[in-house]
Structure 1
């Protein structure tokens, strides 16, 4: 508990080492994405896929190292709320794309 910060409710806020590890990994992932774009080492679709994968990994890094989300019982409600948010955003985006595509198809036929 020497390097972890705890508030009045007893919630653990991580340590300096945890924050530095997350920061270094985030900087490396950002530099990797920048390097992929600058080097033109992939086709445009491969570049998009590589950047999307790096972005997904960086989201996980931020959730674990900065928001301290894990499988512990203290984080159960936070993880459930996050999962519900992801599900809602997924439904919203897919529904919007479906409606836009359907509207586009119906407008083209006239």
Structure 2
């Protein structure tokens, strides 16, 4: 969401403001839909899928409109940094879960099936 270079200062401000307002409206819509689905009694499985899908879409909206990361060549480095950060978070979370489950298995011999 980069501002074109040939705009005046006022036009650039309006262009940026339009992007922020668009992002805000989309974020609000993507927040209200899951709340209304839960309030109006949507089935649990469908509500969880709806929340997950709309949550992923909302991540994309925030990255695009508020962090200004897109697929343009000028922003490619920002996208790579964001993807690398996501990879590191995934590795840390998966490693933590793996270590905790492995410790649970080793600390309670003969009781692996309890709680499953």
TM-score range, shorter chain: 0.7 to 0.9
Q: Greater relative contact order (Cα 8 A, min sep 6): structure 1 or 2?
A: 2
Q: Give the Cα–Cα distance (whole angstroms) in 2 for the partners of residues 37 and 104 of structure 1.
A: 35
Q: Give the Cα–Cα distance (whole angstroms) in 1 for the partners of residues 20 and 32 of structure 2.
A: 18
Of 12, 16, 21, the residue aligned with 1:4 is 12
Aligned to 1:62: 62
Give the root-mean-square deviation of aligned CA atoms. Answer: 1.6
Q: TM-score when scaled to structure 2? A: 0.78
Q: Give the Cα–Cα distance (whole angstroms) in 2 for the partners of residues 64 and 75 of structure 1.
A: 11
Q: Residue 68 of structure 1: CA displacement?
A: 1.1
1:81 and 2:81 correspond: yes
Q: Secondary structure at the match of 2:29?
A: helix
Aligned to 1:101: 101
More strand by share: 1
Runs of 4+ with >6 A deviation: none
Pick the structure with greater CA Rg: 2
Q: TM-score when scaled to structure 1? A: 0.82
Residue by residue over 1:34-79, the C-alpha shift from the partner in whole angstroms, topping out at 9 and shown as x without a partner, is: 1122122022x43233212111110100011111111112111111
